[in-house]
């Protein structure tokens, strides 16, 4: 059983994915503002709800739903045990994020 607080769980997910900012994490989940995530990260803040779990699992399927529900200590799904596979997933995600940012910058400059 996972004894982490909801704040610690979300921070662990962010750190485990190699994401450097809460704002970026919120954007990846489809939120227009990071305020909802910041509220969960506050000590005694909001609880992780089913909507947030669904967003995390949809965007980051490698995250173990049981970890989010506090019934497992494992952040990543058990079928992704190989550290190299996880590192490759994170590297690919970072590359995708970089390319998306470049595309957004190009579109912004054209307007």
What pLDDT does residue 94 have? 84
Residue 35 lies in a domain: yes
| CATH for 17 | 1.10.260
Q: Using CA atoms, how far apart are residues 85 and 65, in angstroms rounded to an integer?
A: 19
Residue 93 lies in a domain: no
Q: Show the domain range for 29.
A: 6-78
One digit per residue, the tens of pLDDT, for the chain of length 111 reads 778 999 999 999 999 999 999 999 999 999 999 999 999 999 888 999 999 999 999 999 899 999 999 999 999 887 655 556 666 777 788 888 888 888 888 888 887
Torsion sign across C-alpha atoms 70, 72, 78, 84: positive
Residue 107 lies in a domain: no
What pLDDT does residue 77 have? 85
Cα→Cα distances 51→24, 30, 57, 105, Å: 18, 12, 10, 30
Q: Report the domain count for the chain.
A: 1
Residue 99 lies in a domain: no
Residue 85 lies in a domain: no
What pLDDT does residue 79 have? 66
What pLDDT does residue 83 have? 59
């Amino acid at each position: 059983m996972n004894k982490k607080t909801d704040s610690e769980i979300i921070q662990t997910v962010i750190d485990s994915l190699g994401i450097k900012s809460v704002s970026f994490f919120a954007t990846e989940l489809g939120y227009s503002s990071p305020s909802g995530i910041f509220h969960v990260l506050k000590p005694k803040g909001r609880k992780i709800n089913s909507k947030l779990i669904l967003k995390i699992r949809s965007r980051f399927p490698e995250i173990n739903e049981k970890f989010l529900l506090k019934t497992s200590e494992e952040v990543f799904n058990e079928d992704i045990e190989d550290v190299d596979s996880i590192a490759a997933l994170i590297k690919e995600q970072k590359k995708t994020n970089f390319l998306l940012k470049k595309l957004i910058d190009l579109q912004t400059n054209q307007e």
